[in-house]
Structure 1
Amino acid sequence: MLLSIVRALVRNLTTVPAAVLRSRAAKDAEVLALRHENAVLRRQIARVRYEPADRVWLAALSRLIPRDRWRQVFAVTPTTLLRWHRQLLAQKWTFTQSRRPGRPSTAPIVKQLILRLARENSTWGHRRIQGELTNLGYPIAPSTVWEILHAAGIDPAPQRSGPTWRQFLTAQAHGIIAADFLHLDTISLKRLYALVFIEHGTRRLHLAGVTAHPTAQWTVHQARNLAMALECRMNWLRFLIRDRDSKYTRSFDSVFEADDVAILLSPPRAPRANAICERVVGTLRRELLDRTLIYNEAHAHAVLTEYIHHYNGHRPHQSRQQLPPDSDLPPTPATVANLQTHRIRCQPVLGGLINEYQSAA
């Protein structure tokens, strides 16, 4: 479109020098001939259609001809010529970015930050969130924060629900231990049960025992053995998470309540309430039980004990910044070892089912 207009203007401008250099009599005769031709064409054509290049050219020539002569020279009315000229000016001074009247709307990133603060802090109201935004360099009115929360369906702070299981477990991780049963089948299709405990803070895994008949008395006995084994750390534990299995009796709870450990019952059919213990059960199945044939109780206990020793002493954990549960060292930046000068030593575990790797100079 623009290229065609430029071409038409250049073509018309090339005729200007020739018209200027002609004699006055020849130009007058040509003008009279053109006027007569226009009069003939106006009688035959009801409406003349002009291209954009034609409009630009006629609008430019109108600045050189007196206005009282426009009606005799041009085939359009003076009003049309002025309208074309105004359109040219409007195209020159048109701003691409139009601004709506009123205050600018809140940026989407600020809205996301407001919703995040409300989601992560259930006790914060709109004024508390507004104050936090001001400290972060986002000044905003409290009423605007309230409107954003209301539009997102978030209730005021006193009416919001309490912390979720995930929030509770994260806040109390160092004082929580969880218990769960997992079942495994021997090579003769005999069902065995293993009772495992895991500390949330360190992810340290404990095997209480393996049996084919997990009675309530057996469960209490294993709880007492674990309490004695964890005597040095029982002062740190404050909660025990377990499901509502009938094998967990009142005597089982009393073993931990004697050390001031409160019992938290997970809701029925809600594995996410005991997610960390459920996940370690899945890890035991994927990395060990699904890849090993179990002969009897003694074999199951030996295999699980060896794997748990690897789990606590060597296996890295994302929640501990790739440190094993038994490591008390703070995480340090990884250093790239020169494999030409350092030899990597492989230590097989469980007959080569799992391997541990260490750097040997």
Structure 2
Amino acid sequence: MDKTVMTLVFAATLLGGAGNAGAADAEASGLANVKQFTLEHNHQLVVQAELLEVAVAEYAGVIAAHDGDYAAAWSVDGVRLAKQIGAIRALWLDTSNQYETIEGIVAGIPATAKYDLILDAGNPGTEQEDVAEYDLSLPDGTVLKRPGNLFHGITEPLLWGMNESGIKLPVDLNADGKVTRGEMLFDANLGLGAVQALAHWAKMLETDMNAWKPNREDAFTSVVVMTPTVGDYFGEWKESQFISGEIGAFVAQSRLTDVQGIMNGCRKMYSEAISPVVAAGDSDLDSRIKSGFEELLTLVQDTQAREAAGAKFGVEEADALGNEAQDIAERIVAMVLQGAAKAGVQIRG
């Protein structure tokens, strides 16, 4: 067991006797479980990112074999390139979904929050807030200063042909006799540099997550910070192609997949690490918080199931669903803050 968690258990035992000791044991076990869960998915994130890097390197190798002439590469190796792009997109989804599974935890912990900006949510340096603080070095020696997050800001638009400057050649990838939006050969130099960075920062996150000492303040802070973001994610879902028919930032899959992963992470942090603390002081409050998370996840899951079944959502309905999710999230946070106050927990800014 982590030394910090052992200290937490020992202190609670001294202060509260057998009852509090039992709650502290449950809290310590929950904190350890959350860390282990996060590390397991972080490891898979690293594995998938490395596979993605290999796949893009192979694609770049085909382009390089034709001296960087994308038209010549397509003319000679078009079938191979089309298969490579299909494989790259599948690997990207696997990599992204491993991160989304733990984003609700990673982004809420002060010691690891910077990785969420770099990997998934940060803005480019042209913005004033939430900038991803890194520079991207490309194989040809170009350095892109503060280019934005790697998943949704760089690689997804590039690999799905939404970044106009990253399109090197429109091509008929699916061999149906026509070229539609998203069918193209992408910039191999930018693609390789970006996936190399994904693998690098995934490993850096793993290092810092291993070093993280699970504690009560981080657990409460994570849930309080991340749960209310559900409204923003619903807004992104509304603005994506899945609602309006316009090509948006989230084209690889519905943003609701990400929402579900993030909110499941919030619920896990609460149920594993925070619930024992809240329940020790107010079991009814704990039950109401758990019910709130169930209500929130049910709303997300039902909406995603409708979407998967072919339902079309107008802007007004999407707004209503987003507002409902936000209302539930805010109620959850208000109750978690009550629990924090009763337990004397300081939420970290």
State if a TM-score over 0.5 links the two structures. no
Normalised to the residue count of structure 2, the TM-score between the two structures is 0.23
More strand by share: 1
**Higher radius of gyration, 1 or 2:** 1
- Structure with the higher fraction of residues in helix conformation: 2
TM-score scaled by structure 1? 0.22
